[in-house]
Structure 1
Amino acid sequence: MSLTSLTALLAQRASTLAEAVGNPLTPPDYLDLVRHSRDVDDLAEQVLKLCAQQSRDAGHTWQEIGDLLGVTRQAAFQRFGKPIDPRTGEPMDKTVRMTDAAERAVKIVTDVIEGRMEEARQSFNAQVREAFTDEVRGSGMATVAGLVGAFEGFGEPAPFVRRIGDHTVVDVPLRYEAGDMKARVAFDADEKVAGLNILPPEVP
């Protein structure tokens, strides 16, 4: 669908949402508002993606696009780019098929932070299970504590899920007493954890 058609449809859906809000003296059907808002959000994402692609076609850099969106150039590329698989020469499939990736990542990160390693290891692939010993966990937790203090909870925004190559990758915002971090969980094709790191939020 062309940008003109998409923006016209977006305007129509936004108008429908505004009408659904109705008279301020008459309570709207709130579930209808959720449905209409979802439609607007879906279309806005399509418009943004097409605008980013057309900006690239016009010669603008991922740095420029990332600056406009308040993200790194790598994050902009991961969201809107069309990477080519060097193995096949074909566009890479960026479809996220793990519908529960965010929930699983949060559960695994919680288990690791709270020391429930036996539960966490059930989700690890063989390589991670072998490498991620209690000693490795303890050393990593100590390093993070030395940087930002005690863990206080999960941060904002919601976990960010995307597909990178053959992996589904989830960034989970974390809040510590002296700063923010993020946990990055990578799932392999078998939906097992192939990597788990705690990183500064600015790391792309």
Structure 2
Amino acid sequence: MTEPPPLTALSSRLAEQAAALAQALGSPLASPAYLDLVRRARSVDELAEQVLRLCVQQSRDAGHTWQEIGDLLGVTRQAAFQRFGRPIDPRSGEPMDKTVRMADAAPRAIAIVEAVLDGRMDEARQSFNAQVLEAFTDKVRGDGLATVTGLVGAFEGFGEGEPFVRRIGDHTVVDIPLRYEAGDMKARVAFDTEEKVAGIVIVAPETP
């Protein structure tokens, strides 16, 4: 018997899981059953991500551009590529590894950003690599925060949404939403292969 194409098989499984979730939602629920809904919803989400990745790949194979795909997804072409692309490492000719291995990247990045914003630089610098330790002086910090204040006013706290963690080249990169009095920004922290901070900056939220 011929196996169905991967996209057909995954779409079928997604439809089945979504139907099962809808049926469970329509039934009377006892308290423990709510956790089952979370499990089912997570399964649907994971399958939907796989279907989306295959659809994007088929669109690319058909000749569509990252700009077209990004427009459909409401992101920039670079953001679409970073999420779905399969870049080839020019050093080896092999597909680049996009697996995030730093399980604690998000909480570590948040703690470092908090320390920088609060002025606890001795604490923050413990996580910096040698290059950032040399370059990120108190003057650089002050000038950078003054520039951001001039753009969007005083810092009010962390924004809504979870930090976005991904692998870019040899770095693990974390984007953290920030809320200011006149607009939103995001902090970006990059960790090197030694899990030290290789870069930290505050940028506009639409920055890819």
Short-chain TM bin: over 0.9
In structure 2, the residue matched to 1:152 is: 156
Structure 1 segments of 4+ aligned residues over 3 angstroms from their partners: 25-28
Match of 1:142 in 2: 146
Q: CA deviation at 1:85?
A: 0.2
1-10 or 183-192, larger mean C-alpha shift: 1-10
Which residue number in structure 1 is paired with residue 181 of structure 2? 177
2:89 pairs with one of 74, 77, 85? 85
Structure 2 unaligned regions, length at least 5: none
1:31 maps to which of 19, 30, 35: 35
Q: 1:127-171 CA distances to partner (integer Å, 9 max, x unpaired)?
A: 111111111111111111011000111113311111010000111
Aligned twin of 1:190: 194
CA distance in 1, matches of 2:157, 2:64: 38
Shift in Å, 1:27: 3.9
Secondary structure of 1:174's partner?
Answer: strand
Aligned length: 203
Secondary structure of the corresponding residue to residue 197 of structure 1: strand
Residues in 2 aligned to 1:14 and 1:91: alpha-carbon distance in whole angstroms: 33
TM-score of the superposition, structure 1-length normalised? Answer: 0.96
Note the residue ranges of structure 1 that are not aligned, 5 or more in a row. Answer: none
Partner of 1:15: 19
Q: How does 1:32-47 map to 2 (within 5 A)?
A: 32-47=36-51
Q: Secondary structure at the match of 1:68?
A: helix
Amino acid at match of 2:117: I
Task: Tell me the SS of whatever aligns to 2:8.
Answer: helix
Give the % identical residues: 75
Considering only aligned residues, what root-mean-square deviation do their CA atoms show, in Å?
1.2
